[in-house]
Chain A
């Protein structure tokens, strides 16, 4: 695979080591879609020393809040977040799933109270083996198959 150069950003966030193919989902979490006014760079299936292939997303001028980082952790648990100031990485950390995911993941069980008109916000608890369990109906979901509220 040929080396691909991805230009640097001045101020903002780089989400690196995203599992190959998932960058469009990360863009969706960041609210980057048709009509987005800022600048952003997405690279898909680029060479990675760690994972063979990876995706990268760079967003100019955005510093992510906790909820956004949690959402990224759900779909791309091996991703790293780099904070960029004046073209330099000033902070770098791996994403981490919080103990409870509140209001982020849809419950796949249609008969769950969170899918009823009662209007209960979903709560999911991460479990071993890459699974999330619904706090209410106890349905388990594979992290790779979760559906998020965007």
Chain B
């Protein structure tokens, strides 16, 4: 068993199956406890705003009795005056016992962890990593499917730029008998680098364009963003082809689950919300116990 005390959580690549299972097991049993992290302070350094991640980290810390300081967006901070990331981190490590950071540059969280004397959790470094999101995705799948081995998982939409699907696919290579069905328009395929370097030989995968959801255990939806397309017509056409509505959901197995990292902008019809397979709000809610588990492991080793 790994000793988590004082650990940084920067990239899902740093976590093997055992570490992932340790976090998920702790997340499954952890309860709010106002004494667990009493007196501990988290510095929440969000150089880019984020609703769910920032709020769920803060909620997790407070539910365990800790306090949160920090900022969201750089308006009104010394960063606007040109303060470096290095100096911001060196200040925060003296004000807090742990740092949670989101920053637009890739590699910023690793740099912060190298610089800081306190543990650092990466809450998103540009297009690179967001390990607590991947852990909560895995936690949600484990909770509803009962296992992480032998699953058939469909990933739908923007597989090119979607950081969450890259990390999730990469994390799933730790498990046995995984089949991935990658469903996207040709212009938004999973990058060949990820397919070849990370997935090939470790999981089975197929790439298709039609929204074929038959036989899947998990459907992981993503947002297709307009700014990725040179022209509006092409965007509207592609967006329309990957909308999950009641009709499309008729292909689903009764025990399948639908996930989405949220926010959604039309790719899941709100009518789908009432289906028993719709689990994306539970998924968002799971951000709190998973982050509580990380905090508890890092501070207490359990």
- Given A136-B106, A136-B107, are A113 and B85 also a contact pair (CB < 8 Å)? yes
Taking a contact as CB atoms under 8 Å apart, the answer to whether A140 and B197 are in contact is yes
Q: Within the complex, what minimum Cβ distance (angstroms) separates B190 from chain A?
A: 15
- B85 lies within 8 A of A111 (CB): no
Q: Which of A107, A116, A140 contacts B193 (CB 8 A)?
A: A140
Task: Tell whether, in the assembled complex, residue A112 and residue B106 are in contact, meaning their CB atoms are under 8 Å apart.
Answer: yes
In A41-93, which residues have CB < 8 Å from any B CB?
none
Binary per-residue interface labels of chain A (103-142) against chain B in the complex, 1 for a CB within 8 Å, 0 otherwise: 0000101011110101010000000000100111111100
Which single member of A118, A135, A139 contacts B86 (CB below 8 Å)?
A118
- Across-interface contacts of A137 in B (CB, < 8 A): 105-107, 110, 125-126, 128
| A121 nearest CB across to chain B (Å) | 10
Of chain B, the residue at the smallest CB distance from A122 is B107
Nearest CB on A from B79, distance (A): 12
Residues of B within 8 A of A113 (CB): 85, 105-108, 110-111
- B222: interface (CB < 8 Å): no
Verify A111–B193 contact, CB threshold 8 A.
Answer: no
Count of residues in B whose CB is under 8 Å from the partner chain = 19
Cα distance, A139 to B193, chains bound together (Å): 10
Q: Are B13 and A112 in contact (CB under 8 A)?
A: no
Question: With contacts A111-B105, A111-B106, A113-B85 known, is A136 near B111, CB below 8 A?
Answer: yes
Is B111 in contact with A120, judged by CB distance below 8 angstroms? Answer: yes
Docked pose: A116 CA to B106 CA in angstroms: 10
A138, B128: Cβ atoms closer than 8 Å: yes
A120 to B115, CA, bound (A): 11
- Residue B54 at the A interface, CB < 8 A? no
Which residues of chain B are within 8 angstroms of A131 by Cβ–Cβ distance? 197
Tell me the interface secondary structure of chain A in the complex. Answer: loop
Check B193 against A112 for contact (C-beta < 8 Å): no
Q: Which residues of A contact B11 (CB under 8 A)?
A: 138
Return A58 CB to nearest CB of chain B, in Å: 38
* B82 CB, min distance to chain A CBs, angstroms: 9
Residues from chain A with a CB closer than 8 A to the CB of B187 are none
In the assembled complex, the Cα of A139 lies from the Cα of B125 at a distance in Å of 13
A111 and B197 in contact (CB under 8 A), knowing A118-B85, A136-B111?
no
* Interface residue ranges of B91-133 to A (CB < 8 Å): 104-108, 110-111, 125-129
- B37 to chain A minimum Cβ distance, whole angstroms, is 29
Q: Is B50 at the interface (CB under 8 A from chain A)?
A: no
**A111 adjacent to B111 (CB under 8 Å):** no
Residues of B within 8 A of A134 (CB): 107
A109–B125 alpha-carbon span in the complex (Å): 13
Contact flags B75-93 to A (C-beta < 8 A → 1, else 0): 0000000001110000000
Q: Which residue of chain B has its CB nearest to the CB of A107?
A: B107
Alpha-carbon gap, A118 to B82, bound state (A) = 10
Known: A113-B85, A118-B84, A140-B193. A135 touches B110 (CB 8 A): yes
Task: Determine the distance from Cα of A55 to Cα of B110 in the docked complex, in whole angstroms.
Answer: 39
Contacts of B193 in A (CB 8 A): 140
A137 to B104, CA, bound (A): 11
Q: How far is the CB of A138 from chain B (nearest CB, A)?
A: 6
Least CB separation from A114: chain B residue: B107
Chain B residues with CB under 8 Å of A120's CB are 107, 111
**Minimum distance in angstroms from A98 CB to a CB of chain B:** 18
Q: Which residues of A contact B (CB under 8 A)?
A: 107, 109, 111-114, 116, 118, 120, 131, 134-140
Interface pairs (9), CB distance under 8 Å: A113-B85, A113-B111, A118-B111, A120-B107, A136-B108, A137-B107, A137-B110, A138-B13, A140-B197
